[in-house]
Amino acid sequence: MSEVSQDFSPFVRLYKDGHIERLMGVDIVPPVDPNSNVMSRDVVYSPALDLSCRLYLPKNTNPNQKLPLLVYFHGGAFVIETAFSSTYHNYLNTLVAEAKVIGVSVDYRRAPEHPLPAAYDDSWTALKWVASHVNGEGPEEWLNSHADFSKVFFYGDSAGANISHQMGTRHGQEKLVGVKVAGIVLAHPYFWGKDPIGNEPRESSQRAVAEGLWRLACPTSSGCDDLLINPLVDPNLARLECSKVLVAVAEKDLLRDRGWHYYEKLRENGWSGEVEIMEAKGENHVFHLQSPTGENARLMLEKISSFLNQDRA
């Protein structure tokens, strides 16, 4: 095998011959899960790029029952994981069953083969495809029959939380016609910055891994104060288009302070919505995906489920 040129273990290794070895999130599970209380199926949202999303619908849904619509963006530093891995399939099954929502889990092109803004562009394409069902005349019957477009939520973890933020900002500028984004959930958001904040490591060698991963995802970036990775320096942060935001952080997560500062900045910036934060003590990055049956994961699931249903009649 060729020599390693860049090693971003435990995520990905790049080799000098151009080969890319992903070290996590490479398994793919089918949408059929007879033991679940949720039905799921895969649907193409971009024929041009052959990109799909996985839809989730609670099994006991009545024929014309409208449900809050959750659009989910998976994490993985923009370089690993898919909407079809066991990690995300199992999590969406659990969340959709608990919250009784209709779910759309978006798969998008990943770096380094497809550097940013590919993931953002694909996610926006998926949202436009979702919005094509507003009048009940879109290509996907589940969305036509069951999606309540006055109660749309974006949710993502890590890089997916970054995407959720970017989609909320883009919706503020370009508007998905007929769609009301009621809320956004950011779980352990992948934000960073040139200068350390809070308890982040000060040593450049420790910060180099986070910065190197960002460069891998976005080689054309101006650096770690790029608005795509550091929304704290974005003068338009208050244009985020939704009614409420929930930020979830984990005490031992390297990215914890970024989540807290995002929460504080939204509150200070004249943003008109409601923002709340929850912190899981003693937990690390995306613990709720790695240990979904733990007590803190259960509390987080209940909190997010409540957030998705607060305005439900």
Q: How far apart are CA 181 and CA 69, in angstroms?
A: 9
User: Residues with Cβ < 8 Å from 272, sequence gap 6 or more?
Assistant: 238
Size of the chain, expressed as the number of residues it contains: 313
Q: How far apart are CA 152 and CA 311, in angstroms?
A: 11
Q: Environment class of residue 186 by beta-carbon count within 10 Å: exposed (0-12), middle (13-18) or buried (19+)?
A: buried
Q: How far apart are CA 123 and CA 185, in angstroms?
A: 16
The token pair that represents 175 in the structure block: 């508007």
Active site residues: 158, 253, 285
Report how far apart the first and last C-alpha atoms of the chain are (Å, whole number).
Answer: 59
β-strand pairing of 20-22 with 38-46: unpaired
β-strand pairing of 181-187 with 244-250: parallel
